[in-house]
Amino acid sequence: MKKKGFVYGSILLTFVNFLIRFIGFSYDVILSKLMGAEGIGLFQMMMPVLMIFLIITTAGIPTAVSKLIAEYSSKNNYDAVRKTYRVAVFFTLSLSIGLSLILISFRGFIGLRIFKNEDALRCIYFLPPALVLISITSVMRGYYYGLKMIGIASISEIVEHFTRFVIVIGLLYSIYPLDPILGAFIAICGISIGEFFDLVWLLFMQSRFTKRLPYTIPTSIKMTQLLRQILTISAPLTLSGLFHVILQFTNAILIPQRLMASGYTYSEAIATFGRVMGMAMPLTYLPYFVTSALVINIIPNLSEQVFVKNYKTAKNNIHLAIKITLLVSIPLTALYVFFSKPLAVYLYSDPKASESIYLLGFCTIFLAIQHTFSGILYGLGKQKNTTIHRMIGMSLQFAAVYYLVGNPSYGIYGYYTGFFLCTLSICILDFYTLWKMIKMKYQYTDLFIKPFFAAALMIILILQTQQWFLSINFHLSTSFIYSLIIGGLGYILVLFITKAVPRNLLGMLFRINK
């Protein structure tokens, strides 16, 4: 791809990623508020079941399709492009249907033996359509990314998130108040609804654009050869993702059961699980709004800089990526720690969620940093290291869930302990690997002291302005929102005054893409 096209694609993907995460976060917040802790808990229990099947069709195959199509199109071999697309779609469709049949066949075992929940058994019937649709749309997006039709692939994700948001939230509002179980059914069906409109968009674009691909002389490459190439590329990615999803699935099974073993009732266990996974977790992952976009931009840049041995530029970009991550994650961590109760009340109308927000809030900064570190190490060609580090961290989390959550002395605090150990250990291991690879000097004053100082002033400003708004008879929620805005602006102002944010920051970000 030409430089101009690469820069354009990077900017577009960054914007789309931000928009999708904003819609997704808003969807999670409103969904939790309308369904309640028990409903969102049941919904969150079903997601790992879907993901453990989806990881087989979506973790590596779309990436392999994108890579192969990009290679063949660069050689103007459009016959191989068409064949690769057809092979991938047919194989993925067949595989997803087969996995759906397996899922239905084991519905009783999953619902009654593993989850020990009849409601979970009924929810499983709604998962196969989502499994097939997501698998197909993922491969189609990989096809468009390979052809450098980034706009089509990006808009398809917006279509999926937006239609799901409008239809599901609109339906829940129309029948509110609703039974939590019914809410979980609707939310699961909403996955298929969004993916259906996504598929309609992609098929419409295919009829308009991909038929215009130049005709080339048929090649001798066989379908079986193409399938073997797809499987060779996708297998390592699939195995890596499978371990993570299995842990999520295990958590969805173990946490409610271990909570009941420690003395929780069934409803209390599901509600607690819902508050942790459906309410606190979306806030904890909020820095991914920025870090995901940053990782997308910096991975190809670091790969290029290392290839040409331009280590000075690579070090500058690494330092900038870490700085931006800390500038975003430090104030969010402070907000969760100091204002967990107002956030729980205003976002979810559930004061009990404040404890989860508060305790997981301490993990926010480590979660954001390890995400950025993983992108940096991936760009430096250290994928195996990042995989091993995450396996170590997730093993610690699993051990904490199994041994601590079921202990009445710990309960749900065992999960908080495991999650903190997981994120912290991954951060330390990633940093050590990066430090061994590149001996670079960090500007600790800019990275830590200035953002912490600005965050402390932000908290003070929020508290003072909230009191002032209340003294002039503003509504409590309005006072909190206005004080957050003023505090956020104050944080940014302090960063500029202390020169923690370089004046040419925007230009530096764009240069990462060049």
Predicted confidence band of residue 513 (pLDDT cuts 50, 70, 90): very low
DSSP 327-358: HHHHHHHHHHHHSHHHHHHHHHS-GGGHHHHH
Identify the pLDDT of residue 512: 42
Identify the pLDDT of residue 75: 75
**For residue 425, is pLDDT > 90?**
yes
Other C-beta atoms lying within 10 Å of the C-beta of residue 468: 14
Number of separate helices (H) and strands (E) present in the chain: 22, 0
Identify the pLDDT of residue 2: 41
**For residue 197, is pLDDT > 90?**
yes
Averaged pLDDT, 17-24: 78
Residue 78 parent element (H or E): helix 78-105
pTM: 0.69
Predicted confidence band of residue 362 (pLDDT cuts 50, 70, 90): very high
Predicted confidence band of residue 58 (pLDDT cuts 50, 70, 90): confident
Identify the pLDDT of residue 94: 93
Residue reference for tokens 């459009």: 78
**For residue 420, is pLDDT > 90?**
yes
Exposure string for 196-210, b = 16+ CB within 10 A, e = fewer: bbbbebbeebeeeeb
Identify the pLDDT of residue 423: 92
Closest CA to 34 of 174, 189, 191, 190: 174
Q: How far apart are CA 16 and CA 293, in angstroms?
A: 9
What are the tens digits of pLDDT across the range 134-188?
Answer: 999 989 988 887 777 777 877 888 899 899 999 999 998 888 877 878 888 888 8
What are the tens digits of pLDDT across the range 200-249?
Answer: 999 888 877 766 666 666 666 777 888 888 888 777 667 767 777 777 77
Q: What is the mean pLDDT of the chain?
A: 82
DSSP state of 475: -
Predicted confidence band of residue 358 (pLDDT cuts 50, 70, 90): very high
**For residue 42, is pLDDT > 50?**
yes
Predicted confidence band of residue 514 (pLDDT cuts 50, 70, 90): very low
Q: How far apart are CA 358 and CA 336, in angstroms?
A: 6
Other C-beta atoms lying within 10 Å of the C-beta of residue 305: 22
Dihedral of alpha carbons 379, 380, 384, 387, sign: negative
Q: Specify the range with the lowest mean pLDDT, choosing from 220-229, 251-260, 302-311.
A: 302-311
What are the tens digits of pLDDT across the range 285-300?
Answer: 888 877 776 765 665 4
Identify the pLDDT of residue 180: 78
Residue type, 490: G
Identify the pLDDT of residue 426: 92
Structural contact between residues 318 and 398, judged by C-beta atoms closer than 8 angstroms: no
Residue type, 366: F
Predicted confidence band of residue 305 (pLDDT cuts 50, 70, 90): low
Averaged pLDDT, 336-362: 90
**For residue 32, is pLDDT > 60?**
yes
Q: How far apart are CA 116 and CA 57, in angstroms?
A: 27
